[in-house]
Amino acid sequence: MAVVKRKKTGPVRRKTGLAAVPVESGWDVIKHYFHYEIDGKQLSDIVKTYIRKNFSKSDAKLALANPEYSFRMFSHYAATAFMLEDNNFKFEGKIANYPVALKNYIKTLIESGKSLIAEKEEETNVITLTPQQRLENKVLETIGADLDELEDQWIRGEETELDIYNAMQRHDLKGMAVPILIKKLDFMLLEYTDAYDKKCEQAVEAYSHLTRKEQKRRIDAIQKMIDDLNSFKSAQKAKRAPRQPKVKAADKQVAKMNYKKEDNEFKIASVNPMTLVGAGKVFLFNTKYRQLTCLITNSASKGFEVSGSTIKNVDENISWKMTLRKPEDILPVILSKTANQIDKAISKLTTKKAKANGRVNAEVVILRVL
């Protein structure tokens, strides 16, 4: 008798997610499944897909403008949308209202979407004033109002003037406001001078009710305001603190510095060159020429600065260099003793000192920074 071999099969993979919706088990089971077994992303995708398929493009755009949680917070709406795609499933009896409730909910999303889009458009259309426009508005609301009041007084026949220098201080205006005001005053001055000098028939007619003496008084008053504004601008410029140059970080200053890191003959090594920045005194040793250099800063506030391979802010009048006959006797003193002890040891040397500068090269070891 022939033996029939049975084909080996692996374990059946259990369906999960939307593929395992128990569509034959009734609405309550389906709704429970969506609530506990379907993740938020899938719930959201189902509702969004339903909206795109069943609503106009414009309404869908409004509804989909709502935040993400709006589409996943009610799992029964996702379950309803999903089961509406199953033609064999009927929403009848006590569950007949679910499709209506879904559509009504989407209508509320459309209405809220209108408000959200309108708010975004308002934010987009907000007019942002430039600094110059804000300055012009402030000038018009302050000194501009003072000048308007002055003109009203002149119309009423009052012989008044405006102390515009003090007005600028009172309104806390700066020199940048001066050109705006001078432009206005230049226009006023032109009208009165044209009338006074009879250069413009319209200006002559407009101010024919004023005596020449009053016309001249107003011309002088306007010119004085222009002069005072120029004085104010100069005073503001004089009071302005000079801009301090930005100081580079120590690591940036010494990044390109060329120096000798270590010398085996004299058994010495350079300290970290970053310690130079801000220091007041440094000892250098040129290993090729056996030359000891002492640099002293001329800036008590800044100390040394470094640019390339040059130590800056060096007082060349008191900084010095000398050639050492016996470096092995002096270098240990420089490296280990106090400033006073170093000075005493140096004073005993008979070698003459010469003036020194801050240039460093590949033969120079940075012995010690004080």
pLDDT in tens, the chain (370 residues): 455 555 555 555 666 788 888 888 889 888 888 888 888 888 889 999 999 999 999 999 999 999 888 888 788 888 998 988 876 888 888 888 888 888 988 998 999 889 888 888 777 666 678 888 888 889 888 988 898 898 888 888 899 999 999 999 999 988 898 998 898 899 889 989 998 999 888 888 888 898 999 999 999 999 999 999 999 888 888 777 666 667 788 888 888 999 999 988 888 889 899 888 889 999 999 999 999 999 999 988 888 999 898 999 999 999 999 998 988 888 898 888 888 888 888 888 888 889 998 899 999 999 999 8
What residues contact residue 36 under an 8 Å CB cut-off, 6+ apart?
Answer: none
Q: How many residues are given for the chain?
A: 370
Residue 219 CA to its chain's centroid (Å): 47
Alpha carbon distance 288, 270 (integer Å)? 15
What is the amino acid identity at position 88? N
Neighbours of 149 (CB within 10 A): 12
φ, ψ at 147 (rounded to 5°): -70, -35
Residues with Cβ within 8 Å of residue 106, at least 6 apart in sequence? 50, 51, 55, 63
**Tokens coding 305:** 């600065």
User: How far is CA 10 from each of CA 7, 13, 31, 356, rounded to the nearest angstrom?
Assistant: 10, 9, 32, 90
d(CA 62, CA 43): 19
Q: Is 174 helix (H, G, I), strand (E, B) or coil?
A: coil
Tokens found for residue 302: 């800044």
> Is the model's pTM score more than 0.75?
no
DSSP string, 311-327: EESB-TTT-EEEE-S-H
